[in-house]
Amino acid sequence: MAEDGEIIEHHVSEEMEKKRHFARLPEAFLEREEHGSTQSSHRLLAYSDALISIIATVMILPVAHTKIQDNEELKESLQQHLTAKIAVYLMTFLIVTVAWAAHIRLFQVFERIDDCLALLNLACMMLITFLPYTFSLMAAFPDNILGILLFCSCVIVIGLIQAVIVLYGFGRPHLLNDQIQGSQNQGFYKRHILKVILRVPAFCFFAGIFSFVYPLLSYVLLAVVIFFPYISQSLRWCYSKAVGKDEGEISDPMLFYSYHPNEPLSKERVEAFSDGVYAIVATLLILDICEDNVPDPLEVQQRFNGSLVDALQEFGPEYLAYFGSFATVGLLWFVHHSLFLHVTKSTRLMGLLNTFSLAFVGGLPLAYQLTHEFPHNSHNELEAIQISCVIIFFAGLFQLAIWVAALFNQRETLHPFVHYNGQDHAFMLAKLAVYPCMALGTFFVTCVLSRFSAPVFHLAQIGVPFAFLLLRLLVRAALSVLRWLSRPSHPAAPFSDVLT
């Protein structure tokens, strides 16, 4: 009885699995040596997701650590000091998530791995984590071709390692996934996948050569090669939606590497990657606090007559910023978690929207660094708080966009009880709407009551967790009001089946 109501994730109890394992043990003993030891790829992929999510996110630190002079206005200093670094952060985030998407594509081909594949994958990861540095070089020396050459060589080597992984895998078909393993046409798959993978290093090779002649052209070439499949597919998808013959396109015989927005994307890996980003962002501020906000014993002795409490009061706003930032990131994670509990299958388009949402989440440490850096009631403080609101707004808005994208194809992507007019549809919508509404509201209130911007912002932050605790009650109340209002004119209100 009790077990029927829950939303289950894709795990079975260890006990059951163990029994299954021991049942097939005798054959395992006989046939094991034939293939060496192969393994499920689950943990390797989770580790790769963790690495990539950390690398994508930590590049916000150089931005957040930029010192802004007090005598300048925030707007000017933002333009002068931060634009380049923010561009590096966004580009790194996008490039790294593109590499991550390629990694997902690559490992969708495999069902199992062995030691050799694990080591090749680690080599690949090492080069991916080096990409942010090449970007920093490019941003610091836009006229020097060294940055672009380093970037191109990294991408070329990554591409070659991935090609070796594919060749190695097709040489040992028991590692491949069941669909390719059962196919008559393994050679066709192999050629198609290799073609897609090797296209990128080939273009990068030319971009590297062009950079000697005309550096700007090679930047354009790189942008095209990285985003071309997404752009062309988006355009094709929009076109087919407009003309209305979308069903013909989906029946592509090639399920892998199709770059179609409805191409399935491993839900487990999207979750693992998002968890990594949320966890890093939630903890980045405490790292700064531990390093910078422990006062110097000598200073405490001299300036504060040995009173540690007085010395710590200087850092008061920092602690508030930490708890505010942790609560916001934690609750955005909570909304993401609730959303993906209801998702049965995630698509490329949802993955892309998730990436945009995460890019804004990654910007939160910058926003919080800004909010506590300026004197109280200054013009800079107001702008810092408004920037925070904008970042929170877009992070929440793109989460909402994932939900809308899922609803467009709800029979495939969502659990039936959150379908439009389903049991929990309104509740989920309310959860997703909390942060955009809060951010928008705070933004406009601070525009009007600019003198009270900091108290308003902190009040909003403290209020949101309680809003989540009471959300179910609030949604019920709102729905009954809606029903009561719509009863005289429409006997069956749109949400009436949601209520008990």
**Residue 88: CB minimum distance to a second copy, A:** 9
Q: Using CA atoms, how far apart are residues 197 and 150, in angstroms rounded to an integer?
A: 19
Per rule CB under 8 A, count of chain residues that contact a second copy:
116
Three-class secondary structure of residue 114 per DSSP? strand
Which one of 157, 198, 289, 445 is in contact with a second copy (CB under 8 A)?
289
Which one of 82, 197, 270, 282 is in contact with a second copy (CB under 8 A)?
282
Which one of 19, 35, 241, 379 is in contact with a second copy (CB under 8 A)?
35
Residues 378-407 that bind a second copy (CB under 8 A): none
- Nearer CB in complex with a second copy: 111/381: 111
Stretch that binds a second copy, among 4-12, 102-110, 184-192, 217-225 (CB under 8 A): 4-12
Residues 336-355 that bind a second copy (CB under 8 A): 337-338, 340-341, 344-345
CA angle 381, 385, 386 (to 5 degrees): 115
Q: Using CA atoms, how far apart are residues 87 and 254, in angstroms rounded to an integer?
A: 36
Residues 452-491 that bind a second copy (CB under 8 A): 465, 468-469, 472
- Nearer CB in complex with a second copy: 55/225: 55
* Position 272 contacts a second copy (CB under 8 A): yes
Which one of 83, 191, 195, 297 is in contact with a second copy (CB under 8 A)?
297
Stretch that binds a second copy, among 8-16, 75-83, 192-200, 381-389 (CB under 8 A): 8-16
* Position 23 contacts a second copy (CB under 8 A): no
* 469 residue type, one letter: L
Phi, psi of 414, deg, nearest 5:
-125, 150
Going by the DSSP 8-state scheme, the letter that residue 271 receives in this structure is: H
* Position 141 contacts a second copy (CB under 8 A): yes
Going by the DSSP 8-state scheme, the letter that residue 253 receives in this structure is: S
DSSP H helical ranges for 109-214: 115-140, 146-171, 178-182, 186-213
Stretch that binds a second copy, among 56-64, 210-218, 379-387, 443-451 (CB under 8 A): 56-64
**Residue 379: CB minimum distance to a second copy, A:** 29
Q: What is the dihedral of CA 283, 288, 291, 293, to 10 degrees?
A: -120
Which one of 210, 322, 356, 435 is in contact with a second copy (CB under 8 A)?
322
* Position 32 contacts a second copy (CB under 8 A): yes
* Position 245 contacts a second copy (CB under 8 A): no
* Position 157 contacts a second copy (CB under 8 A): no
Which one of 94, 98, 136, 486 is in contact with a second copy (CB under 8 A)?
136
In this structure, what token pair is assigned to residue 5? 């109501």
**Residue 478: CB minimum distance to a second copy, A:** 17
Whether 426 contacts 495, CB under 8 Å: yes
Residues 412-441 that bind a second copy (CB under 8 A): 415-417, 423-424
Which one of 43, 191, 451, 490 is in contact with a second copy (CB under 8 A)?
43
Which one of 167, 217, 255, 286 is in contact with a second copy (CB under 8 A)?
286
In this structure, what token pair is assigned to residue 109? 């081909």
* Position 2 contacts a second copy (CB under 8 A): yes
* Position 312 contacts a second copy (CB under 8 A): yes
Whether 418 contacts 342, CB under 8 Å: yes
* 152 residue type, one letter: C
**Residue 460: CB minimum distance to a second copy, A:** 17
**Residue 353: CB minimum distance to a second copy, A:** 19
Whether 171 contacts 181, CB under 8 Å: no
* Position 97 contacts a second copy (CB under 8 A): no
* Position 14 contacts a second copy (CB under 8 A): yes
- Nearer CB in complex with a second copy: 7/404: 7
Q: Using CA atoms, how far apart are residues 48 and 29, in angstroms rounded to an integer?
A: 30
Q: Is 103 exposed, middle or buried (0-12, 13-18, 19+ CB in 10 A)?
A: buried
Q: Using CA atoms, how far apart are residues 175 and 169, in angstroms rounded to an integer?
A: 6
Q: Map 196-227 to HEC letters.
A: HHHHHHHHHHHHHHHHHHCHHHHHHHHHHHHH
In this structure, what token pair is assigned to residue 414? 């969502």
* Position 38 contacts a second copy (CB under 8 A): yes
Three-class secondary structure of residue 347 per DSSP? strand
Which one of 29, 171, 305, 375 is in contact with a second copy (CB under 8 A)?
29
Could you tell me the CA-to-CA distances from 124 to 52, 128, 203, 448, 461 in Å, in that order? 11, 6, 19, 52, 41
